[in-house]
């Protein structure tokens, strides 16, 4: 932008800055305060008081006493979450969610700084960069991708705070280039080390984007600068010492028990999840890219993407912004590509957590284009640009109430309702053989705060985790035969299951990987199926089903309407629950009871193909030949 144009517009834009309290003396405080305060207030108003689905329960359990979560262990999150648990406000789940909200606030602050510094390179009229940077921050924080990470216990909000700090420092290096002041580099290196200790995959995505800037800084500073940067990075990375230290403790949760080098590497490298990436994802890569693009368009609005394309053109075309523009473009492209490669985007808020930097980059580029337009207007219609600047920013607040209503977790009680069936209503000394990770993690979260310590939970899909079987056998010797058989065969066998059921109440969570031969031992009981020591007759199943279905119906009534975005996973939990009960009853020949569960499932998801396939397998109720057990083999899958 020319100096003449800036002088022409300076008066009117200065007026706009004053209109929203951003005069030259106060804007350094007020602008970032506004950028952060509005999003944080919205997050606090919609914060979950009782956790959420997915990994939330497990992360709450980690926060009890510096525990270890699933690979890669998340040591930094474990440290901060446990400290957050000391805050005397609400439940432990609420305190961990509060950490997420504050982390998003920190991310907003550093995104504002990076956006402001980027916009300043355009040589805009005084005050305009600050106003537009505030608007870009509100736009970013108001997306579902950001908002959902700030109202539930998860690691992605903390990761975004660290990533945006690194982004801010990289932008600062580019703005000051060439410079002999390498403090931004050292700060970025330290934050990068911390980010590696929270979610190393997401942290590593920063390297390709920041590599050109970091290389120039290190070449200018020489070997000493390089060694100092490495030292600061190693200091942040030393947080991983948390894992072996806590593995040797009596912490409530120690997944992977990384107390030696082999186990430490198993946890940190996340070997348990490496098959779920790249070629291990069923959908074609092009389809995955399309899903990410659609998700970004829905989150930011297609018009924002159009503006972002214009901003990319401007940033790359102007010499003064080209290097910074390249950095933001790389940040955007790498995160979109990484999430597409991983797959599993649809209906997954964790996938949105991976896209937080990409959302920020798109909002930044949209802000660049809007700022250029406002500056051009200011040179021709000085008074009109004041109105446009203020109106453009204030308009970004308009969608917030609707978004808040759609994704708010302030009244999330579904987890507690399920916990009643999963845990609180179980008989004394019960054993739960759980298959669904969300069930496992919700139970971990509830038991971490002292609920039902008499109940033994066996997380079937996690039994391959190092040390877990030995730990379970030590705490509950009665489980040894069952665990030994599973360790040798990879399956739950009927004989040790019935033997255990003769000594303790045993409940099995059904899953398509459960051998149908076990069905002869089981009867429905709430969410689970109870194992009987002497086997289960058809009469046993029919009698138990009446009581069990009544409990599930009460759960459905208790949950009420589930029509918001934040209710989507609760609907999925109910759908899966009813589907598994219907499969079991179909296999046992209880077709009418199976149809009753399918009816509820169809109300939740009328178009689900598996439900329709099972309904066809059950046959027409009017068909006298549609009786007896149904072959459910097509609905199962092997380990």
How would you class 289 by CB atoms within 10 Å of its CB: exposed for 0-12, middle for 13-18, buried for 19 or more? middle
% of the chain exceeding 90 in pLDDT: 76
Lowest mean pLDDT among 229-243, 287-301, 576-590: 287-301
Q: Using DSSP bridges, classify how beta strands 456-459 and 431-434 pair: parallel, antiparallel or unpaired.
A: parallel
Q: Six-digit token pair at 141?
A: 């924080």
Confidence of residue 178 (pLDDT cuts 50, 70, 90): confident
Answer yes or no: are the C-beta atoms of 399 and 304 closer than 8 Å: no
H or E element in which residue 418 lies: helix 414-419
H or E element in which residue 457 lies: strand 456-459
Q: Do 324 and 437 fall into the same domain?
A: no
Is 592 a residue whose pLDDT tops 80?
yes
The angle subtended at Cα 575 by Cα 354 and Cα 58, nearest 5°, is 45
| Residue range 311-329: mean pLDDT, rounded | 95
| Residue range 344-369: mean pLDDT, rounded | 90
Answer yes or no: are the C-beta atoms of 455 and 429 closer than 8 Å: yes
- 104-143 pLDDT, tens digit each: 999 999 999 999 999 999 988 777 888 899 999 999 999 9
Q: Do 122 and 197 fall into the same domain?
A: yes
Q: Using DSSP bridges, classify how beta strands 456-459 and 522-525 pair: parallel, antiparallel or unpaired.
A: unpaired
Average pLDDT of the residues of the chain: 90
pLDDT at 397: 73
| Residue range 611-635: mean pLDDT, rounded | 91
pLDDT at 475: 92
Regarding predicted confidence, which is higher, 419 or 400? 419
Q: Do 85 and 199 fall into the same domain?
A: yes
pLDDT at 248: 92
Cα-to-chain-centroid distance, residue 508: 28
Domain total in the chain: 2
pLDDT at 3: 43
pTM: 0.91
Q: Do 392 and 442 fall into the same domain?
A: no
pLDDT at 124: 83
Q: Do 311 and 421 fall into the same domain?
A: no
Q: Do 388 and 429 fall into the same domain?
A: no
Peptide bond into 72 cis (omega under 30): yes
pLDDT at 378: 73
Phi, psi of 436 (to 5 degrees): -75, 125
Answer yes or no: are the C-beta atoms of 509 and 527 closer than 8 Å: yes
Q: Do 391 and 431 fall into the same domain?
A: no
How would you class 608 by CB atoms within 10 Å of its CB: exposed for 0-12, middle for 13-18, buried for 19 or more? middle
Per-position DSSP letters for 106-160, written without gaps between them: HHHHHHHHHHHHHHHTT-PPTTHHHHHHHHHHHHHHTSHHHHGGGSSS-SHHHHH
Q: Do 462 and 371 fall into the same domain?
A: no
pLDDT at 64: 95
Nearest CA-CA partner of 153 in 448, 527, 358, 458: 448
DSSP H helical ranges for 457-512: 468-475, 480-489, 494-501
Q: Do 261 and 177 fall into the same domain?
A: yes
Answer yes or no: are the C-beta atoms of 322 and 316 closer than 8 Å: yes
Q: Do 469 and 604 fall into the same domain?
A: yes
Is 281 a residue whose pLDDT tops 80?
no
pLDDT at 346: 67
- 517-567 pLDDT, tens digit each: 999 999 999 999 999 999 999 999 999 999 999 999 999 999 998 888 788
pLDDT at 538: 95
Is 185 a residue whose pLDDT tops 90?
yes
Is 403 a residue whose pLDDT tops 50?
yes
Is 62 a residue whose pLDDT tops 70?
yes
- 450-472 pLDDT, tens digit each: 999 999 999 999 999 999 999 99
pLDDT at 395: 73
pLDDT at 4: 41
Q: Do 429 and 534 fall into the same domain?
A: yes
pLDDT at 9: 39
Lowest mean pLDDT among 191-195, 230-234, 287-291, 496-500: 287-291
Q: Six-digit token pair at 616?
A: 């066809």
Of 391, 407, 423, which one is at a domain's C-terminal end? 407
CA distance 309 to 368: 10
Regarding predicted confidence, which is higher, 391 or 431? 431
CA distance 322 to 310: 14
- Structure letter (DSSP) for residue 68: B
Confidence of residue 217 (pLDDT cuts 50, 70, 90): confident
Q: Do 397 and 418 fall into the same domain?
A: no
% of the chain exceeding 70 in pLDDT: 91
Of 351, 374, 407, which one is at a domain's C-terminal end? 407
Of 352, 387, 407, which one is at a domain's C-terminal end? 407
Containing structural domain, residue 603: 414-635
pLDDT at 382: 63
Is 156 a residue whose pLDDT tops 50?
yes
- 11-44 pLDDT, tens digit each: 444 454 455 444 566 657 888 999 999 999 999 9
Is 247 a residue whose pLDDT tops 90?
yes
Answer yes or no: are the C-beta atoms of 110 and 167 closer than 8 Å: yes
CA distance 139 to 376: 22
């Amino acid at each position: 932008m020319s100096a003449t144009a800036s002088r022409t517009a300076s008066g009117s834009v200065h007026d706009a800055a004053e209109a929203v309290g951003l005069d030259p003396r106060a804007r350094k405080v007020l602008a970032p305060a506004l950028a952060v305060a509005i999003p944080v207030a919205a997050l606090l108003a919609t914060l979950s008081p009782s956790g959420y689905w997915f990994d939330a329960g497990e992360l709450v359990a980690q926060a009890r006493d510096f525990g270890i979560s699933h690979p890669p262990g998340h040591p930094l999150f474990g440290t901060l979450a446990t400290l957050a648990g000391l805050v005397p406000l609400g439940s432990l789940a609420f305190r961990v969610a509060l950490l997420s909200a504050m982390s998003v606030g920190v991310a907003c602050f550093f995104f504002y700084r990076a956006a402001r510094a980027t916009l300043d390179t355009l040589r805009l009229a005084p005050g305009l960069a600050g106003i537009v940077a505030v608007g870009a921050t509100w736009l970013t924080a108001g997306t579902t991708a950001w908002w959902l990470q700030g109202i539930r216990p998860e690691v992605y909000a903390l990761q975004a705070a660290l990533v945006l700090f690194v982004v801010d420092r990289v932008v600062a290096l580019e703005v000051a280039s060439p410079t002999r002041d390498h403090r931004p580099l050292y700060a970025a290196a330290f934050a990068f080390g911390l980010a590696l200790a929270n979610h190393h995959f997401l942290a590593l995505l920063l390297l390709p984007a920041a590599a050109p800037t970091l290389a120039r800084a290190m070449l200018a500073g020489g070997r000493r600068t390089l060694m100092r940067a490495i030292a600061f990075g190693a200091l942040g990375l030393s947080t991983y010492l948390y894992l072996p230290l806590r593995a040797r403790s009596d912490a409530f949760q120690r997944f992977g028990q990384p107390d030696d080098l082999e186990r430490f590497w198993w946890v940190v490298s996340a070997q348990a999840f490496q098959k779920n990436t790249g070629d291990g994802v069923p959908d074609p890569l092009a389809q995955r890219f399309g899903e990410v693009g659609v998700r970004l368009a829905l989150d930011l609005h297609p018009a924002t993407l159009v503006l972002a394309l214009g901003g990319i053109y401007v940033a790359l075309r102007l010499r003064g912004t080209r290097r910074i523009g390249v950095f933001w473009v790389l940040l955007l492209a790498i995160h979109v590509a990484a999430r597409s490669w991983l797959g599993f985007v649809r209906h997954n808020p964790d996938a949105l957590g991976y896209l937080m930097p990409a959302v920020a980059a798109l909002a930044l580029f949209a802000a660049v284009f809007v700022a250029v337009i406002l500056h051009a207007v200011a040179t021709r219609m000085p008074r009109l640009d004041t109105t446009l600047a203020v109106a453009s920013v204030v308009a970004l607040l308009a969608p917030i109430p609707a978004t808040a209503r759609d994704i708010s977790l302030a009244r999330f009680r579904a987890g507690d309702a399920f916990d009643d069936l999963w845990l609180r209503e179980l008989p004394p000394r019960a054993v739960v053989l759980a298959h669904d990770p969300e069930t496992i993690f919700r139970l971990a979260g509830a038991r971490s705060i002292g609920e039902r310590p008499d109940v033994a939970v066996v997380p079937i899909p996690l039994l391959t985790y190092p040390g877990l079987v030995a730990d379970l056998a030590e705490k509950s010797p009665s489980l040894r035969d069952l665990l030994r058989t599973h360790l040798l065969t990879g399956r739950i066998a009927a004989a040790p299951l019935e033997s255990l059921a003769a000594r303790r109440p045993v409940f099995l969570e059904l899953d398509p990987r459960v051998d149908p031969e076990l069905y002869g031992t089981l009867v429905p009981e709430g969410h689970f199926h109870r194992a009987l020591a002497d086997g289960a007759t058809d009469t046993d199943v029919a009698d138990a089903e009446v009581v069990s279905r009544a409990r599930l119906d009460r759960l459905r009534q208790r949950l009420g309407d589930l029509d918001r975005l934040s209710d989507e996973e609760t609907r999925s939990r109910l759908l899966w629950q009813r589907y598994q009960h219907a499969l079991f009853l179909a296999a046992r020949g209880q077709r009418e009871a199976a149809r009753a569960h399918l009816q509820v499932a169809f109300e939740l998801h009328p178009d689900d193909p598996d439900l329709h396939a099972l309904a066809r397998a059950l046959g027409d109720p009017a068909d006298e030949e549609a009786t007896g057990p149904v072959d459910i083999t097509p609905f199962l899958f092997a380990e």
